[in-house]
Amino acid sequence: MVDFMGWLTGFQTDPLLYLVIFFLFCVAAAIILPIPVELGLILEPALPYPIKAIVLGLGKGVGSMAVFEIGMKLEPKIRSWRRWRWFRWLFDNCEKFVAKYNYYALYVILSIPLMLDTVPIYIFSLANKNGKALEMKWFAVTNFFAGVTRATILWVLLYILGIDLFQ
């Protein structure tokens, strides 16, 4: 993580390239990298923070569409693991949670700064009850808005601590 952030910092002289790499990092973080991406928001001071927040949201939205597809393909296999009582209990409760709170819970969970969001995205995509509890379009939109909200919450917390990212 530190090596990647150091590498990313090297692109501060080219803001467009920085945004492209940050976007790809956010996509990868949604799909496979269980790490928070907020450091990318505070690195490039020349870029306006709101633009980086939108790029974070777009990356999370695009990555979540890939996870949604992966979840749809893996769900039948995961369901076969329900023969184990403990797993059936866990999976059934995840399905009930997703069905009851759907996009609202996903939004709240993914809006928490520094949250490792790879796991919740997969849980919501796998416990999607054969694609009936959530739709990909709204899943991606929810991830986008949660990413932007997450960046906003981080900005507010840093501002309260005396760090103004809009200077």
Q: Does residue 63 belong to any structural domain of this protein?
A: yes
- Rounded to an integer, the average pLDDT of 131-158 is 91
pTM: 0.85
Q: Does residue 18 belong to any structural domain of this protein?
A: yes
What would the 3-class secondary structure string for the chain be? CHHHHHHHHCCCCCHHHHHHHHHHHHHHHHHCCCCCCCHHHHHCCCCCHHHHHHHHHHHHHHHHHHHHHHHHHHHHHHHHHHHCHHHHHHHHHHHHHHHHHHHHHHHHHHCCCCCCCHHHHHHHHHCCCCCCCCCHHHHHHHHHHHHHHHHHHHHHHHHHCCCCCCC
Q: Does residue 28 belong to any structural domain of this protein?
A: yes
- Rounded to an integer, the average pLDDT of 139-162 is 93
pLDDT of residue 167: 58
Q: Does residue 167 belong to any structural domain of this protein?
A: no
Q: Does residue 136 belong to any structural domain of this protein?
A: yes
pLDDT of residue 5: 61
pLDDT of residue 2: 52
Q: Does residue 165 belong to any structural domain of this protein?
A: no
Domain extent, residue 139, equals 2-160
Mean pLDDT of the chain: 85
Q: Does residue 82 belong to any structural domain of this protein?
A: yes
Q: Does residue 90 belong to any structural domain of this protein?
A: yes
Question: Which of 37-46, 100-109, 130-139, 149-158 has the largest mean confidence?
Answer: 149-158
Q: How many domains does the chain have?
A: 1
Q: Read off the pLDDT of residues 35-59 as tens digits, 9 standing for 90 and up.
A: 778 888 887 777 888 999 999 999 9
